Structure 1
Amino acid sequence: MTTTTRQPSHSLTPLVVPLLAGGLVMIALGVYGRVHTPTGFAVGPAGFSAALPMKAWLTTGAFVLAFVQVVSALSMWGRLGISIPPAVHRWSGRLAFLLTIPVAFHCLYALGLQYDVPRVLAHSLLGCFFYGVLTAKLLALPKRGLPGWSLPVLGGLTFTLLVGLWLTSSFWFFTTIGLKI
């Protein structure tokens, strides 16, 4: 009787469904943002003076939590020499995602996908890509047999897209309008 040791698969097959779903999310958000007639208002800015400060501060919170995500991921992958509990990574990601929901809702429902100002076009496209890549990452997490590079690449892309969103929104707001609450 011979026993064979099964080697972990490094096939791209487990990534097909997450990447397709992420692509569909990107397209759906972009199409909705373009065909939906913007209302001009959406989420009540509870505790904030207006919608723009709400969006700037919630995005900044997600931006800060994204750095926690990077540091905790590096720790989990043994790249820092310190141990951060995996729960820190999970909960910082959950909180970052939750902070982006009212912002994305307001952007899509109240403003739609805009293309007349380059910064706003970049911001609109970054938002669609952010949620698409995040979808792919979250759907890929429970998959077995993924190539070792897939989760770090998807996580890195998610982080990079959130940084781009922050630069084209909150950073712009704070440097143009000020630190209003």
Structure 2
Amino acid sequence: MSTSAHLPAEPSVAPTGAARTGGTVTDRLIDANHRYADAFTDPGMDARPVLRVAVVACMDARLDLHGALGLALGDCHTIRNAGGVVTDDVIRSLTISQRALGTRSVVLIHHTGCGLESLTEEFRHDLEIEVGQRPSWAVESFRDVDQDVRQSMRRVRTSPFLVHTDDIRGFVFDVKTGLLREIETSD
């Protein structure tokens, strides 16, 4: 099985901006950046988040974390990856966020309909066959989103590198309603 078989179908919506006129999506993003920079004023912010919180969430394009959580620029550190799972690299980012930049709270957000629910670790095997090298990372797929949030909370709470593990909360974002549902720990 080709790993590209896991990709969703191309959207049927006509492309806009640079993509429609022959440029790439990246060209469109760079054009948008120029417009942004023209109106940009330095907000004079520090790199330390105002709310002293780090949010770990899935990279899914349907999750507008700032909108869903009422956050403004500078309020939080946002760490995103496939599934919003707590990996070694997430622990690295959280450690820097806490120890160097003053965060004290961690919010974990998974969501309904996550693509990792339909993948398995077999994906790594398929990649190895396709490219001739096995990835060093785990897919971190799961079948039960609530249980995966609990596992992620445990990974944060038990990390020896993190100094602030008393305010760790996990949620599932419903992509149909926009509501967060808190997941209680089983500890």
TM-score (norm 1): 0.23
Specify which structure has the higher proportion of strand.
2
TM-score (norm 2): 0.22
The structure, 1 or 2, with the larger RCO (C-alpha pairs under 8 Å, 6+ apart) is 1
